Each structure stands twice: as structure tokens, then as C-alpha cells.
């Protein structure tokens, strides 16, 4: 068994950073559904802007809003306006073709691979 990439949201833009929240990443539920992320799922978030990498968990954001909000301590590391890749992994005994959700700068879906 290996942990393999299951899905990702590619080149999303962080729309908010909220240090006073208890922690996590808020993601538009439409994006979560298309990527196959579960609420509460652990994800790896990588900033293309700064190179910062962190793990957190998904909380639901307003459907259709395009929200990607870094919450709690993560908001100190990844700021509003940064470009990020959000990845979910799966434990599997065979290779997986990951689902990749491509978004524009407003976090609207432009392609799913």
C-alpha cells in the first residue's frame, strides 16, 4: 500500500486569510465536489508564490463563491493573493489516475482532467 495523489485543485488563488479562526482551509463546496475532497479530509497545500507547504483539513465554503481561505496558524504562512495547489492523497495498492481541477484566477473551474 502506498499514499498516492488522488485529486488536486491546481493554481487556485487564496481569497482570504483569517488568523483568528481555529485552523483549516475553507474551500468552495463546488470545488470540493469536483475535486472529490471530503469535508474534514487532510490536504497538502503548497504555495507556488513562496514555496511553503503545509497540511490541514477541509471545511466547506459557500458554493459558487470561489473562496479559498487559509485559517488559523496557516494564515501566517500562506497569505491572501498567493497561488496554491491543494492536494488530497489516498492509500492504495495500485496506481491511481488523479483528478485535477484547473481553475482561473477567480477560482472558477476551467477544466477537469
DSSP state, residue 38: P
Q: Which of 24, 47, 92, 106 is catalytic?
A: 24
Q: Look up 21 and say whether it is catalytic.
A: no
Beta-sheet pairing, 83-92 with 99-103: unpaired
* C-alpha span between 74 and 39 (Å, rounded): 18
Looking at the DSSP assignment, which residues form a beta bridge with residue 5? 89
Q: Look up 24 and say whether it is catalytic.
A: yes
Q: Which of 7, 21, 47, 57 is catalytic?
A: 57
Looking at the DSSP assignment, which residues form a beta bridge with residue 43? 56
Cα Rg, the chain, nearest whole Å: 13
- Catalytic residue annotation: 24, 57
Amino acid at each position: 500500500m502506498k499514499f498516492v495523489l488522488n485529486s488536486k485543485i491546481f493554481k487556485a488563488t487564496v481569497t482570504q486569510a483569517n488568523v483568528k479562526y481555529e485552523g483549516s482551509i475553507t474551500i468552495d463546496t463546488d470545488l470540493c465536489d469536483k475535486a472529490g475532497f471530503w469535508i474534514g479530509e487532510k490536504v497538502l497545500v503548497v504555495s507556488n508564490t513562496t514555496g511553503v507547504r503545509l497540511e490541514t483539513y477541509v471545511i466547506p465554503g459557500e458554493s459558487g463563491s470561489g473562496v479559498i481561505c487559509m485559517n488559523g496558524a496557516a494564515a501566517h504562512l500562506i497569505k491572501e493573493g498567493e497561488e496554491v495547489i491543494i492536494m488530497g492523497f489516498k492509500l492504495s495498492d495500485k496506481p491511481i489516475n488523479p483528478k485535477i481541477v484547473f481553475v482561473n484566477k477567480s477560482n472558477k473551474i476551467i477544466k477537469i482532467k
